[in-house]
Structure 1
Amino acid sequence: MSEITIKKVTLDKLATLQELSIQTFRETFAFDNTEEELQQFFDDSYTLEQLKKEIINPESDVRFVLVDGREVGFMKVNWGAAQTEHELENAFEIQRIYILNECQELGLGKKLFELALEMAKEGRFDWAWLGVWENNIRAQVFYQKYGFEKFSEHSFKVSDKVDTDWLMRKALKE
């Protein structure tokens, strides 16, 4: 049985976060993007400087999930001004959850997702929300099982290519 742990990403692990971000994004979206589009996205979004800004932002939280001490995935959540959209008041964004393909069937994404929801409830937010690619039906069904519903859309750019993400939300207070 593997030991699974979740740890906050620290500045000394920036390079690991960058490598994991690039590898998991490539594994997830290479089928729908050219290598040039992916590289432009990485050069814009996953530089060490950009990732450092995200880690030190007091309105974001970035965590690794480790299997037997090895970083195999991560999540990033935001609130306040750090959110990528501001359509909901007192909201908590689940921005990224990525797991290496080789570890996909271990329930790690679910573990991170449930941690994010727990953090949102503990933070007394009214809403949890996320963006999911319009063609990722599997993820949409997963989120719907947790009570998320589509409320809007936004554009997600990978280089010059523009995809549409569904914005899905869940009320955290009755």
Structure 2
Amino acid sequence: MELQKAILTDITELRKICIDAYSKNFYNHWNEGGLEWYLEKEFNVERLKSDLLDKDAEYYFIKRGLKNVGFIKIRNNTNKDLNIENAVELEKIYVLPECKGMGIGKTALNGIIKKAKERGSGNLFLCVIDTNMSAIAFYEKLGFTFHSKTILDIPYFKEELKGMNRMIKKLDGKKPVANNV
């Protein structure tokens, strides 16, 4: 498994793996018409181009051999309301379902943690659906702890899945303090 940073000339390939990995994992999280709406909103060529040109965002292909088996999107923390200093957000990490259970997600996330540390970030945070116990356990095994609750504010997403846990991993070795907001 390796991480390969996506660049503008990769946009077609990036769009394909984004749509494949996301839709195969979360097709059942949407009300009718929602998945198609979301895929077009998040992964259209203009949006991906904008993200790839944004100095605060990075996409990485998760590769197994020559094949793209997932992707990661990270973003420098631009959310001042969150009050997490020197942070990078793991905005998206999706691996094709047929590649789950092979250690690919863990290896990829450890690669992103290493990259975040190398650039001097002190914290890595993410949001995860609060009923997705397997994902929460996965992040906890990698050293993430609960930070706070939030609600996913997006149309067409099933109401019962909108609760989100914010989780954080201190990259400087200090234990984070939970914020029960």
TM-score by length of 2: 0.84
The answer on whether the counterparts of 2:125 and 2:166 sit within 8 Å (CA) in structure 1 is yes
Distance 1:72 1:21 in 2: 10
SS of the equivalent of 1:65 reads: strand
SS at match of 1:115: helix
What is the CA–CA distance in structure 2 between the aligned matches of 1:72 and 1:85, rounded to whole Å?
34
Residue 163 of structure 2 is matched in structure 1 by 164
Match of 1:129 among 125, 135, 160: 125
Quick check: 1:52 aligned with 2:49? yes
Change (3 A) 1:88 1:51: same
2:147 alignment partner in structure 1: 151
Letter in 2 for 1:123: R
Paired-residue identity, %: 25
TM-score, L = length of structure 1: 0.87
Structure 1 residue ranges without an equivalent (≥5): none
1:108 aligned residue: 104
Which consecutive aligned stretches of 4+ in structure 1 deviate over 4 angstroms post-superposition? none
- What is residue 35 of structure 2 aligned with on the other side? 38
Task: Give the CA deviation at 1:86.
Answer: 3.8
Q: Can you list the C-alpha shifts for 1:19-77, whole angstroms capped at 9, x where unaligned?
A: 21112111111123235110111122111111111112112221112222121111111
Using the TM superposition, give the Cα deviation of residue 80 of structure 1 relative to its aligned residue in structure 2, in angstroms.
4.0
3-state SS of 1:151 partner: strand
SS of corresponding position for 2:94: strand
1:138, distance to aligned residue in structure 2 (A): 0.6
1:64 counterpart letter in structure 2: F
Gaps of 5+ in 2: 175-181
